[in-house]
Amino acid sequence: MLFLQTSKHAPESCPMHNEKTKKVLADFMAKMGQLAKKHGIKLVGSWTSMPEHLIVNVFDAPNMETLMKFLMEPEAMNWSAFNTTETRPVWTTEEAMKLLK
């Protein structure tokens, strides 16, 4: 199941200009692969819009509960402390089109 996550932070907490949040982000990125594997999820893709301070991630996870357990890991929680995040289940266009048949 795919999940679309959007996260946004304030300019003053941007890791590009804030050493504390830069460390938090680096710690999370260093462990993300290991944590994702632990929870049986996969990061499908990640994009950043620098001018908007916006990050978009797509995860593949068995269910929302599994994804939430991953997001409750200490490194992920530290990262969430300076981001406002929304997570929603999504389908590919192909999956959605099958429902129309």
Domain borders along the chain are: 2-99
Residues 6 or more apart whose CB falls under 8 angstroms from that of 91 comprise 2
Q: With 90 as the cut, is the pLDDT of residue 22 above it?
A: yes
Residue range 2-99, CATH number? 3.30.70.1060
d(CA 79, CA 25): 6
d(CA 48, CA 25): 13
DSSP state for residue 73 in the 8-state scheme:
S
Q: Tell me the whole-structure pTM to 2 decimals.
A: 0.90
The pLDDT of residue 101: 86
Determine what percent of the chain is predicted with pLDDT higher than 70: 100
Rounded to an integer, what is the distance from CA 4 to the centroid of its chain? 8
